[in-house]
Amino acid sequence: MCVHAHPDDESSKGAGTMARYVREGIEVLVVTCTGGERGDVLNPKMDRPEVQANLPRIRTEEMDRAREILGVRQHWLGFTDSGLPDGWLPESGIELPEDAFYLVPTEEAAAPLVEVMRSFKPHVVTTYDEEGGYPHPDHVKTHEISVAAFEAAGDPERYRDRGEPWQPLKLYYSHSFGKARIEALHYAMVDAGLDSPYKEWMDAGDWTRDKGERVTTRVECAEYFEIRDAALKAHATQVDPDGFWFAVPRAIQEKAWPTEDYELVASRIETRLPEDDLFAGLR
């Protein structure tokens, strides 16, 4: 089970991993907490009034296409996108809309996720770290309810009306943009005589939010990057096919950094670190 904040997050964070496991015969469920209703049209090729006016419906249709490409199941939790006001941080005091997902008390917001966990019965759950991967209110809230649901799903005394208890065995945070990966891709582009999309990051040299030392598990999935990219392009309102996400040729990505990376934060079984498989100790 992979818990994400918005449609398109599943395709930009861990999609290669999901594609690999689906094709190994493992059932994968994406849980999408919100519909991305307050998002913007980020692909300039799609930035038209009629698209913005129908964005909630269009993003749902994009998620349908991405789900089919990845081969996963998908479930909407049904919360409302919080939006991302300029300068928002958890401690900023900047107000969010009254119906924002972020403002739903965690105990309440975790309830439907507990129900899905108890129904789907995942052995492994992935989500974002405590900063949401980056500080977006919906990503932070997704982290909070994922951790809460992982802890509560197996407890028969909690959420008694949400199905029979089921305890997932492993919980991971995904880490997409660590320093080591950025450096590897940057220098691979330089060595190939190509312009690196990470030059400004390298020049800034600000790695204060790097969590690379926390990575415990690197999943080889380079051969599934083509599927990942196709799923990402399915979210046409959010992703420019000629933009940042595809600036590094796939062949360079496959050679320079062929894994997707995770941090094991809770395990109910014994496993040995580092791992190369989210199902280490389970197979």
CATH number of 2-177+212-267: 3.40.50.10320
Residues 6+ apart with CB under 8 A from 83: 38, 96, 97, 100, 137
Residue 115 has a CB neighbour count (10 Å cut-off) of 17
Q: Sort strands 170-175 and 259-267 into parallel, antiparallel or unpaired.
A: antiparallel
Buried-exposed string 85-108: b where 16+ CB fall within 10 A, e elsewhere = eeebeeeeeeebeeebbbbbeeee
Residues in the chain: 283
- Phi then psi for residue 97, to 5 deg, are -55, 150
pLDDT confidence of residue 107: 98
pLDDT confidence of residue 161: 97
Domain-wise residue ranges, the chain:
2-177+212-267
Each residue's pLDDT, cut to its tens digit, for the chain (283 residues) gives 999 999 999 999 999 999 999 999 999 999 999 999 999 999 999 999 999 999 999 999 999 999 999 999 999 999 999 999 999 999 999 999 999 999 999 999 999 999 999 999 999 999 999 999 989 999 999 999 999 999 999 999 999 999 999 999 999 999 988 999 999 999 999 999 999 999 999 999 889 889 999 999 999 999 999 999 999 999 999 999 999 999 999 999 999 999 999 999 999 999 999 999 999 999 8
Is the entire prediction scored with pTM above 0.85?
yes
Residue 265 has a CB neighbour count (10 Å cut-off) of 16
Residue 149 has a CB neighbour count (10 Å cut-off) of 30
User: Judging by beta carbons within 10 Å of its beta carbon (0-12, 13-18, 19+), is residue 245 exposed, middle or buried?
Assistant: middle
User: Judging by beta carbons within 10 Å of its beta carbon (0-12, 13-18, 19+), is residue 14 exposed, middle or buried?
Assistant: buried
Binding residues: 6, 9, 139
The beta strand positions in the chain, using DSSP E, are 2-4, 29-34, 73-79, 124-127, 170-175, 217-220, 259-267
pLDDT confidence of residue 283: 87
pLDDT confidence of residue 208: 84
Binding residues for Zn(2+): 6, 9, 139
Q: In what order do the strands lie in the sheet with 2-4?
A: 73-79, 29-34, 2-4, 124-127, 170-175, 259-267, 217-220
Q: How far is CA 83 from CA 144, 186, 203, 252, in A?
A: 17, 31, 30, 34
pLDDT confidence of residue 136: 96
